[in-house]
Amino acid sequence: MIKTDWMYEYNEKLCTAEVAAQAVQNDDFILAPICLGQPTALITDAIADRKDELKNVEWRAHLLIRPHKIVNPEYRDTFKITSAFVGTPFIKSVFKEEGYGSYAPASVLTSYKQWTGRRKPDVTMVMVTPPDNEGFVNVGPDCMFPKTLIQGRSTERGTVGGARVVIGEVNDQYIPVCGQTRYHISNFTHFVEHSSELPAFPSPVPKDIHHKMAESVVSLLRDRDSIQIGIGAVPMLISDLIVQSDLKDLGIFTEMLPTGAPLWQEKGILTGKYKKFRPGKMTATFIGPAKELYDFVRNNEDVEFLPSDITNNPSIIGAEEQIVGINGALEIDLAGQVACLTIGNRMVSGYGGQSDFAMGCRLSNFGRMIIVMASSAKDAEGNLISRIVPDLTPGSLVGTMAIHLDYVVTENGIAGPLDGMTIDERAEALIKVAHPKLQDDLVVDAKKKGLFR
């Protein structure tokens, strides 16, 4: 198309949020990206305002980083709220009441397959940059699902998936990035222009136990490792310690780009030259609401944002020689099963990409899966309880299988390498990194289970 053609088409599709909301029909399934790629509440609020006109509409919401009134109780007769990853206060509130929010188990990789097959969305809303001179908008640093939602995916049977209604919220404050992020305006049915500042969450304040865990994790890293890690207190400290270490030629192959990436590159620690996939490039699919990354990723050709069927594909991850996954957990049993998304029946987060990278690390020749967590917590009465347990709380969903776990790190040290250990050897190693005041009880429980003879 020549420039005037796409500009005409764009203006034809340009409308208000209220007009775009009219495209939603009864029984529709609505889906949006997971983080910065989510539009503001402008469009969802306009959809919510149609609660007396619509029936049985499902909104699948992941990692909401802004408040949306559609999740409020007065809208529940019209809108069903579901999620495969909770993780932020704006969506967790929906799951506090029994029978309201519904959890849909899915990892990042399996979600990609769902959205083009069994659960193809009817409507999607995506934040985008204004179109460039060729009529392409940029979906920015949230590349996990947009390709699936906007275009579907190509198979031997043709293209599958792609939403009926594709609404682009055009934000002149959004961030254009490199990778598979440009989509022509012809892929969209509506555009709504809305200038809005990107939200940014404050950096967590680390505690003493976080420092101890970070030191142990960095001791397990090696030159030439390609790292998968997210954001949070421990990852932030790990980033700082990597800068102070003698490590060299690290790479990044991750879903969420770590906040330490700019400093690693500046210090020459991050070269990525030994990566098998896109050598020399940082591979990610999204960033969190971390302001320190916004300028770094803007049109940065060293960072490639790719769809999740690439970044979370265990066969691609496993082709790396030294992939290291660093992830968290809520509970771990004495066999090494990891519960990372629920405590019993209570929803806390979601599978995310942990299981994808656990399988990838197992396929990698020198790959390692490291689980990092505090050894204990306190219950509602203030009693100390162990997060290393004889058995997972009934109802807990296993996020990483015991056979995919290499190391467990707590503030009390490192358990592992667990691969190849017997169950009783695993139990002994895990009890040693449990809270000292709770270790004796764990030994008693292990004997009751017949692990120690």
Q: Assess whether pLDDT exceeds 70 at residue 2.
A: no
Q: Assess whether pLDDT exceeds 70 at residue 158.
A: no
Q: How far apart are CA 104 and CA 93, in angstroms?
A: 16
Residues 101 and 81 sit within 8 Å (Cβ to Cβ): yes
| Number of Cβ atoms within 10 Å of the Cβ of 362 | 21
Q: Which domains does the chain have, with CATH numbers?
A: 3-193 (3.40.1080.10), 208-448 (3.40.1080.20)
Q: Which residues contact 245 (CB under 8 A, 6 or more apart)?
A: 218, 221, 269
Q: What percent of the chain has pLDDT over 70?
A: 95
Cis peptide before 417 (omega within 30 of 0): yes
Alpha carbon separation from 408 to 124, 320, 368 (Å, rounded): 39, 22, 11
DSSP for residue 278: S
Average pLDDT over the chain, rounded to an integer: 91
The pTM for the full model equals 0.93
Alpha carbon separation from 435 to 180, 285, 392, 411 (Å, rounded): 45, 36, 17, 9
86, 73, 193, 80: which is closest to 131 by C-alpha? Answer: 193
Q: Which residues contact 42 (CB under 8 A, 6 or more apart)?
A: 17, 169, 192, 194
Lowest mean pLDDT among 40-49, 80-89, 159-168, 181-190: 80-89
Which comes out higher in pLDDT, residue 366 or 34?
366
326, 310, 347: which is closest to 109 by C-alpha? Answer: 310
Average pLDDT estimate for 132-136? 95
55, 289, 378, 15: which is closest to 168 by C-alpha? Answer: 15
**pLDDT of the residue at 1:** 47
Q: How far apart are CA 394 and CA 439, in angstroms?
A: 21
Q: Assess whether pLDDT exceeds 60 at residue 100.
A: no
**pLDDT of the residue at 261:** 93
Residues 198-245 have pLDDT tens digits of: 999 888 888 899 999 999 999 999 999 999 997 778 888 998 899 999
Task: Considering only CA atoms, give the Rg of the chain.
Answer: 23
**pLDDT of the residue at 97:** 58
| Number of Cβ atoms within 10 Å of the Cβ of 411 | 21
Residues 263-317 have pLDDT tens digits of: 999 999 999 999 999 999 999 999 989 898 999 999 999 999 999 999 999 999 9
Given the structure tokens 């053609």, which residue do they identify?
5
Q: How far apart are CA 242 and CA 235, in angstroms?
A: 10
**DSSP secondary structure, 148-217, as one string:** HHHT-EEETTEEE---SEEEEEE-TTS---SBS-EEEGGG-SEEEE---PPP-PPPP---HHHHHHHHHH
Lowest mean pLDDT among 10-19, 75-84, 106-115, 151-160: 151-160
